[in-house]
Every structure is written in C-alpha cells, then in structure tokens.
Amino acid sequence: MRFLILAPLAVLAVAACAKKPDQIAAVELPDDTYRAASCRSLAAEKLKISQELANLSAKQQTAANGDAWGVFLLGLPVSSMSGNDQETMIAVAKGKIQSIERTQTAKGCA
C-alpha cells in the first residue's frame, strides 16, 4: 500500500526537475524580427544573445544539479521549486539565435 502512494510521488518529483540546458528545445520565432537588420547588427545581436544563453545555461545546469541532489536527499526538486529554473528563457534565447542564423543565411551574411 505504501508503495502505491510513494511511487507516484517519486515520479512527480523527478518529472518536476529542471532540465539540463542541452535538453531544452528552442522556441520557434518568426524571422521578421531581424529582417530589417544589417549583417553587422545581426552578428552583434547573435553574440549578445549567445553570451546571455551561456549565462542562462550555467544557471540552468546548477538548477538541474540542485534538483537531482534535492530529489535524492529530500525527495523534492528544490531548485525548481525556488524559481531557479531558466527553461523558458533558454528556449527563447535559442529561438532568437536560430532566427538570426536563418536571417543571416537569407541575406548571405558571412
């Protein structure tokens, strides 16, 4: 009987864990946002967003590690519960980079 109660709780705890940054898919964004930009400004924006993504990814990796330890020790994804999960921000940043890259390709930027 205890197993029937604890098993679903364990599954929920693990499912609520923060994803590792490389497991987060990009949000699909329209290319219209960057269509009017020059190749130079596209490169600068891509660099800025790439740096932002690196910072967010480091925070997300810390949250994922914290959740793993929290679930192991306490049975709770502590980092996700405390708002340290950066999944949405990472997905948006990845989507922006993909949109910029598509625009750069369409414009023939080097």
Q: What is the pLDDT of residue 2?
A: 56
What is the overall mean pLDDT for the chain?
77
Q: What is the pLDDT of residue 14?
A: 44
When divided into structural domains, the chain yields a total of: 1
Give the residue with greater pLDDT, 82 vs 93: 93
Please give the residue range of the domain that contains residue 6: 2-107
Q: What is the pLDDT of residue 21?
A: 79
| Long-range pairs for 73-78: beta carbons < 8 A, 24 or more residues apart | 75/9, 75/10, 75/13, 76/13, 77/13, 77/14, 77/16, 77/17, 77/18
- pLDDT greater than 80 at residue 104: yes
How far is C-alpha 77 from the chain's CA centre? 17
- pTM for the complete prediction? 0.70
